[in-house]
A and B are shown apart, each in its own frame.
Chain A
Amino acid sequence: MNKEWPIFEIFIRSKNGLEHRHVGSLHAADSEMALENARDVYTRREEGVSIWVVESINITASNPENAGELFEPAKDKVYRHPTFYKLPIELKHI
C-alpha cells in the first residue's frame, strides 16, 4: 500500500471577477482535506476568495518533448495577430 497521500493541484481566485490561477500543489488524503490544507497553506495572507482543488492524476498535460510540433508552427504566422489594422487615432488603450 502506498502510504503517501496523493498530490492535489491548487487553484485560487484572488478576487471576485478574476479567474482561478494555479498556485501550487500539496498532499491530502482526499479532496475535502485538500481544500482545508489549501486554505492553510495558500490563503494565510488573504490571497484568495475561492479555492479549487484537482487531484494531479486527473490533469492531462502536454509533453514538453512535443513542444516543437505543438507550438512552433504558430511562430511564423504573424498574420494570426490582428496587427495589420490601421487604428483610429482616438483609440488610445488598445
Chain B
Amino acid sequence: MMKDNLYKYLLMLGDNSMILGHRLSELCGHGPSLETDIALTNISLDLFGQVRNYFQYAAKIKGGDSTEDTIAFLRYDREHYNCILVEQANIDFAHVIGRQFLFDAFQKLQLEQLVNSKDETIAAIATKSLKESKYHLRFSGEWVKRLGYGTEESHGRMQEAINVLYPFANEFFVETEIEKEMQLAGIGADLQQIKEQFDQVVSEIFTLATISIPDVKPRYAQGKSGMHTEQMGYILSELQYMQRAYPNMQW
C-alpha cells in the first residue's frame, strides 16, 4: 500500500513537470522573440530533466517491466496526476507566463520542503531541481511584473490570464489522501504551510505588477486524482503518438 502510494506520489510530482514541460515545448520556434523562445524551451528542458528523475525512481519502485519511458508514454489520461493548471493551453504569452508563474511560485516552495524529505532519492531530486525552479520563478515573476506594469494592452492581457488561471491554483493545496500519507511519513510536503507562503509570494509580485487577484471561487479541480480537462487528451495524443504508432521504437 505504502509502495503503491509512493509510486503515485512520484507520478504527481513528475506529471506536473511533464505536462507543463510539454506545453512549453509546443512553443519551440513559436516564442514571441528569439530570446523568450530559448528561455521557455530551456525551462521545458529543465522540467523534463526533473521528470526523468522522478520516473526513473518510480519505475524502480514499481518494478517489473516498468521504465521511465513506459511511465511517460504508455499511461492513459486518468492515470496522470498533474494539477489542472499545468494542462491549460498556450492562449497568448500572458497565459504562458501566468501559468508558469503560479506553478513556479508553488513548485519552489514545495521543493524547499522536499529537500528535507525522509526519502533520500526525493530529497536529492529536490535539491537538484530547486536551483532550476528558483530561476524559473525569477523569469516568470519578472515577466508578470513587466506585462502587468507595462502598456494598457499588456496589463489587460496579463489580468485576463490571471482571471482565468488563478482559480486553478487552489488545487495545489487541496490535499489528497496520498499527499496526506506522504506528509505524515515525512516524505511529502506540508501543503498548508506552503499555501501561506504562496499567497505571500504571489501577492508581492501582483502588487508590483498592479494585477489584482480575481474575486471568484476556486475552480473545482481533481487533476491529482486523475480527473482532467479535455485538454489532456490532445496533449497525450501528441506526446504519446510516436510510441503508440510504432510500439517500442527507439530514438
Q: Is B42 in contact with A36, judged by CB distance below 8 angstroms? A: no
Query: B250 at interface (Cβ–Cβ under 8 A)?
Result: no
Q: Of A5, A29, A32, A40, which contacts B38 at CB under 8 A?
A: A40
Does A20 interact with chain B (Cβ within 8 Å)?
Answer: no
Which residues of chain B come closer than 8 Å to A5, judged between CB atoms?
A: 33
**Which of A26, A28, A36, A41 touches B139 (beta carbons < 8 Å)?**
A36
Does A40 lie within 8 Å of B146, measured CB to CB? no
Q: How long is the Cα–Cα vector from A29 to B32 in the complex, in angstroms?
A: 13
Contacting pair B146 A41 (CB below 8 A): no
Q: Mark A1-39, 1 if CB is under 8 A from B, else 0.
A: 000010000000000000000000011110011001100
Number of A-B contacts (CB under 8 A): 28
Report A21 CB to chain B, min CB distance, Å: 20
Given the known interface contacts A36-B139, A40-B42, A44-B42, the answer about A26 and B146 at a Cβ–Cβ threshold of 8 Å is no
A-contact bits for B14-53, CB 8 A (1 contact / 0 none): 0000000000000000000111101100100000000000
Q: Is the CB of B146 within 8 A of A36?
A: no
Interface size in chain B (residues, C-beta < 8 A): 11
Q: A26-B34, A27-B33 are in contact. Are A37 and B146 (CB under 8 A)?
A: no
- The reply on B142 being an interface residue by CB < 8 A is yes
A26 touches B42 (CB 8 A): no
Contacts of B34 in A (CB 8 A): 26-27, 41
| 0 or 1 for each of A36-67: is its CB under 8 Å from B? (1 = yes) | 11001100100000000000000000000000
Interface string of B40-84 (1 = CB under 8 A from A): 001000000000000000000000000000000000000000000
Contacts of A41 in B (CB 8 A): 34-35, 38
Interface residues of A (CB under 8 A from B): 5, 26-29, 32-33, 36-37, 40-41, 44
15 other contacts beyond A26-B35, A40-B39, A41-B34, with CB at 8 A cut-off? Answer: A27-B33, A27-B35, A28-B35, A32-B142, A33-B142, A33-B146, A36-B39, A36-B139, A37-B35, A37-B36, A37-B39, A40-B35, A40-B38, A40-B42, A44-B42
26 A-B contact pairs sorted by A residue (CB < 8 Å): A5-B33, A26-B34, A26-B35, A27-B33, A27-B34, A27-B35, A28-B35, A32-B142, A33-B142, A33-B146, A36-B39, A36-B138, A36-B139, A36-B142, A37-B35, A37-B36, A37-B38, A37-B39, A40-B35, A40-B38, A40-B39, A40-B42, A41-B34, A41-B35, A41-B38, A44-B38
